Amino acid sequence: MSRVLITGGAGPLGAAVARRLLSDPAYDVRISDAREAPRWMREGCEMHRGDLRSSQQALAAVKGCLHVIHLACFGQRGEQDEAPHALLEYEAALHNAMLRAALDRGVERFVHVSSPLVFEHATLFPTPEEHLRECPAPSSARGFARLAGERLCAAAGREHGLQSTICRPFGAYGPRAGAHGLSELIDEAIGGERPLRLPGTGEQRLTPTHVDDLAAGIVAALGSPEAANEDFNLGSGHELSLMELAALAWEAGGAAGEPPFEHVPAREGEPERSCPATAKARELLGWEAQIAPEDGVASLAQTGGVIGSAL
């Protein structure tokens, strides 16, 4: 049995990854997260709590693990927007400590879960992985921190032989555990919020992708020899504007009429279009998103809400 550490595993995407790993008898799961974990996670997984920026805590978290899925990042939505220096400082220390611990503990595969924000200035759509070589560096602190994490993984591979895989989840949403980002919009629309707050113009385009689909891609990357030292864009093939997605959720929630919108400022670094090419994941991992947005949003309306991260 292979033990897998999931950092940031108490979040919605981490929970989906943990469920998928727990369903496979080949894996044993350890979660490292300062947040309170649900009961099923505490009962089914070994839990670690500690500041992973500390080399001692990172080593303790990784001890005995053959694989790491690194989801942890800085703070919540508001904190990321309001504290750019703290974000950069935190994530540099976090990624450095985790990679050093992985090297010292002899981890076989380090899966770094990054973000489509690395493509903040993309000009090619759908955006393939190799387009990153042509993109200017992100202007936002969030995007730059995610790109720096990817670069650290690549450097550890070149210098020390660490096998890493980069996964970029596009438009994540899923079962309720709180609310922020994309999922906050879906949650409010399902609930018939009036007025419905819409970031920016609402014309920004993205590919909503259910966390169960994203978890399947991340676990496939973890177990695939072909994924070593590769990067993968993970996203559905369904491109929608924020306004279209909000209307879809509004209808799924059973609200009457058209949703009344209140436009609020968009977050720094949010691209006008975020649409991945996923041929590489399909060819090397055999992965493809299975849940269409209308089906995913409808299931959330039936179960009473969502959580996730747009990026």
* pLDDT, tens digit, 9 for 90 and up, residues 15-67: 999 999 999 999 999 999 999 999 999 999 999 999 999 999 999 999 999 99
Its CATH architecture, for the domain 175-207+237-280+287-307, is Alpha-Beta Complex (3.90)
In the chain, where does the domain assigned CATH 3.40.50.720 lie? 2-170+209-234
In the chain, where does the domain assigned CATH 3.90.25.10 lie? 175-207+237-280+287-307
**In the β-sheet with 306-307, what is the strand arrangement from edge to edge?**
209-210, 172-175, 306-307
Least confident of 124-128, 158-162, 261-265, 306-310: 306-310
Specify the pTM. Answer: 0.95
- Dihedral (Cα; 57, 63, 68, 70), 10-degree rounding: 0
Which residues on neighbouring strands pair with residue 263, listed in sequence order? 198
Its CATH architecture, for the domain 2-170+209-234, is 3-Layer(aba) Sandwich (3.40)
Nearest to 170 by CA among 130, 144, 137, 209: 209
Confidence class for position 303, pLDDT limits 50, 70, 90: confident
Nearest to 231 by CA among 189, 271, 277: 277
Q: How far is CA 71 from CA 39, 52, 119, 242, in A?
A: 20, 12, 18, 25
Question: Region 144-158: what's the mean pLDDT?
Answer: 98
Confidence class for position 76, pLDDT limits 50, 70, 90: low
The DSSP letter of residue 227 is G
Segment holding 40, helix H or strand E: helix 39-44
Q: Are strands 205-206 and 273-274 parallel, antiparallel or unpaired?
A: parallel
DSSP assignment of 249-283, as one string? HHHHTT--SSPPEEEEPPPTT--SEE-B--HHHHH
Cis peptide leading into residue 195 (ω within 30°): yes
* pLDDT, tens digit, 9 for 90 and up, residues 169-195: 999 998 754 445 788 889 999 999 999
* pLDDT, tens digit, 9 for 90 and up, residues 240-295: 999 999 999 999 999 989 999 999 998 888 899 999 999 999 999 999 999 999 99
